[in-house]
Amino acid sequence: MFAIVEIAGLQYKVEQDQKLFVNRLKGDKGGKVSFDKVLLTVNGSTTIGAPAVSGITVDAEILDHVKADKVIVFKKKRRKGYEKKNGHRQSLTQIQITGITGFDNNKTEKKAAPKAKKAAPAKEQPAADVENSSEAAE
């Protein structure tokens, strides 16, 4: 079971107990957040929203607020003496998906495994062929 949810303007494919980094969210460490803009759900059957699936929410817990690695932005124009160097660290929030709620109980049941096909019975050689094969062996 998974869902595609929009978090802070970006779309993420999320599952139960998954950890991911998203752009900085308001909230304290250890706090709970809920996302209701679910674009697609797959739980035995696929449900596509137009634009969002109603009644489905994704619940998560804020684990930490961190900064990403520094990205260096360097601009230069050759032979002109122009050089500019800037750095940027994006603020991120690490969250853990605690659950996807709002499914009907009928839809959450897994489909039964398909039945195995019976093997075709082995073909027996006609009696005439058996006699011919013993004569050929002699």
pTM of the model: 0.67
pLDDT in tens, 96-119: 999 999 876 444 444 455 666 777
The H or E element spanning position 23 is strand 19-23
Q: How far is CA 129 from the centre of its chain?
A: 59
- According to the model, what pLDDT value does residue 127 have? 63
Token pair for 114: 């398909």
Residue 67: partners with Cβ closer than 8 Å, 6 or more residues away: 89, 90, 91, 92
Tell me what percent of the chain is helix, strand and coil, each rounded to the nearest 5.
10, 45, 45
Cβ atoms of residues 130 and 124 within 8 Å: no
- Assess whether pLDDT exceeds 50 at residue 9: yes
pLDDT in tens, 27-86: 999 999 999 999 999 988 899 988 999 999 999 999 999 999 999 999 999 999 999 999
The arithmetic mean of pLDDT across residues 22-31, rounded, is: 95
